[in-house]
Amino acid sequence: MKTISLDNYTDKYESLRMERHDGILEVALHTNGNPMIFSKTVHDELGFAFADIAADRENKVVVLTGTGDRFCTDFDPESFKSFNGLGDNITASGWDRTIWRGRHNMRNLLDVPVPMIGVVNGPATVHCELPLLCDIVLSSDTAVFQDASHFGNGVAPGDGIQVAMLLLMGLNRGRYFFLTEQNLSATEALDLGLVNEVLPPEQLMPRAREIAARIAKLPPLALRYARTLLTMQLRQLMDVGVGYGLALEGLSAIDLPNYQA
């Protein structure tokens, strides 16, 4: 694998702000410096950013978080229209690009070869699986978890969130989560094992840095191989589930205008 340095990618991405100290890379997702709005830009950048992070062997631990008082609560469907079409404008070739990008994003997140700490800085109702797929998850006591962008909007949840939540929550709890549009508090997420610690917002990053500093002192190959082993099941399930899931999500999206009519 080609190796790169932080200078090659730290200012490369519009929606990711990155800085590193003592081998600990902090990655904050954002939109114009504000809380992230999940858009085509974010969708386009995530997989490539994770690949760059993975290729930089100076990274010992990665801390992934959001910006401001929430992780992500907004979705920008208009930004995707020129890419894959939506509703009655969707095309097979356009949705094929969505399938490729979705698989690329999930695979590259899980292929980051060092431990990852997810810091949920507030409500995560759009793509909450991103921080939850990290090895250690810290949550603000202000956070809530939901899948607000799929089933309630008439679209099957197939872009990887279904793989993550069914595995993390268990089949019955996971199906209930999606089909009822369940909104989980931080405490409920802790009780279900989705997150490891719940803290006041101002304590999140200090705690993440404390854990990261301890982990970063361990031998590099221990870090890399532990991450590989601990994500093996997730990577296998994502490889199977995301392509198939996004194909079915696309079919449900195509039919949505007929239902609304």
Q: Is 78 a catalytic residue?
A: no
Mean pLDDT to the nearest integer, 54-82: 93
**Angle separating helix axes 220-230 and 232-260, nearest 10 degrees:** 50
Q: Identify the sign of the CA torsion 150, 197, 34, 25.
A: negative
- pTM flag (> 0.75): yes
252, pLDDT greater than 60: yes
3-state secondary structure of 172: helix
87, pLDDT greater than 60: no
Q: What's the one-letter identity of residue 158?
A: G
At residue 158 the predicted structure's pLDDT band, cuts being 50, 70 and 90, is very high
Nearest-5° Cα angle at 128, 165 to 60? 100
Annotated catalytic residue within 129, 202, 210, 249:
129
Nearest to 86 by CA among 245, 261, 259, 255: 255
Question: What is the overall mean pLDDT for the chain?
Answer: 94
H/E stretch holding 61 reads strand 61-65
Q: Tens digits of per-residue pLDDT, 160-200?
A: 999 999 999 999 999 999 999 999 999 999 999 999 999 99
- Tokens for 187, please give them: 């405490």
- Tokens for 45, please give them: 């950048």
H/E stretch holding 131 reads helix 129-132
85, pLDDT greater than 80: no
Residue 22 exposed, middle or buried by CB count within 10 Å (0-12, 13-18, 19+): exposed
Share of the chain above pLDDT 70, in %: 95
